Amino acid sequence: MDEKTTVYLVRHGETDSNVEGLLAGQSQDPLNELGHRQAEFAAARLAQVGLRAIYSSDLPRAMQTAQAIAAVTGLMVQPDVRLREIYFGEWEMRRAADIVKEDPKRLRAFFSDPYHVRTPGGESFGDQHRRAQAALDDIAGAHPGQSVALVAHGGILITLLIGIYNDKTFVMREFANGSVTVLRGAPGAWEVVLLNDTSHLDHLGEQGGYKWNRF
């Protein structure tokens, strides 16, 4: 019997903070109109893959995306706080371009080594990686041989891929809103089957979402 778990990682749909280039972090911003459409198309894509469970960050933008998947699968969404976006502390809901004018030394220190350097009053990507990896391992342990959806944030996808590739430069990668990344395996032995795929969103045009190194 195949005990490998297939995990469909979905980045939440677009929010206004994505469009405005804000460091949304653990803020409560919801999906915008395009974000709801992205969630619906991602849900339609996953409707036929035989999901057995849906897990999600408990933040509104992720939960709204997960609920779209729940609506087409009949599954309940199981929220997990460990899947929240990185907490930016004092920088929450601010633009990096504005922060760099006020505190360039601290911001550049973070962006030069975001895996280890914490934001003021917040987290590093390493902090986020450890909690996200624990959540993924627990989910896989509960669903051997099954397919599950995990709805989260760009930072979560980045840190999980850092663990799989053992490459901290992945912190500069951007994942599109509504994208699907597929993992297959078990704790400590994951392979990436599909990375940042947006084929289900192509007809929606340009996708939103800031880049970490935009400033």
Report whether 70 contacts 49 (CB < 8 A): no
- What was the pLDDT predicted at 211? 37
**How many helices, marked H, and strands, marked E, lie in the chain?**
7, 6
56 found inside a domain: no
64 found inside a domain: no
CA proximity to 57, closest of 160, 145, 172: 160
- For 144-175, b where at least 16 C-beta lie within 10 A, e where not — what string? eebbbbbbbbbbbbbbbbbbbeeebebbebbb
CATH code assigned at 12 = 3.40.50.1240
- What was the pLDDT predicted at 210? 38
- For 114-147, write each residue's pLDDT tens digit: 999 999 999 999 999 999 999 999 999 999 999 9
Backbone φ and ψ for 120, nearest 5 degrees, come out as -60, 115
Q: Helices 154-165 and 125-142: crossing angle, nearest 10°?
A: 80
C-alpha 129/C-alpha 164 separation (Å) is: 11
Looking at the DSSP bridge assignments, the partners of residue 183 are 7, 192
Annotated catalytic residue 85: yes
Backbone φ and ψ for 27, nearest 5 degrees, come out as -70, 170
- Ranges in the chain, pLDDT < 70: 1, 172, 205-215
- What was the pLDDT predicted at 169? 74
160 found inside a domain: yes
140 found inside a domain: yes
The DSSP string of 119-183 is PTTS--HHHHHHHHHHHHHHHHHHSTT-EEEEEE-HHHHHHHHHHHHT-GGGGG----TT-EEEE
103 found inside a domain: no
C-alpha 193/C-alpha 184 separation (Å) is: 7
163 found inside a domain: yes
Domain count along the chain: 1
Catalytic residue among 14, 20, 40, 85: 85
20 found inside a domain: yes
Query: Burial, 106: exposed, middle or buried (Cβ in 10 Å; 0-12, 13-18, 19+)?
Result: middle
Report whether 179 contacts 10 (CB < 8 A): yes
pTM of the model: 0.93
Q: How many CA atoms lie within 13 A of 136 on its CB side?
A: 30
125 found inside a domain: no
Which amino acid does the sequence have at 125?
A: F
Annotated catalytic residue 12: yes
Catalytic residue among 12, 129, 143, 153: 12
User: Domain containing 179: what range?
Assistant: 5-51+71-86+130-204
- What was the pLDDT predicted at 147? 98
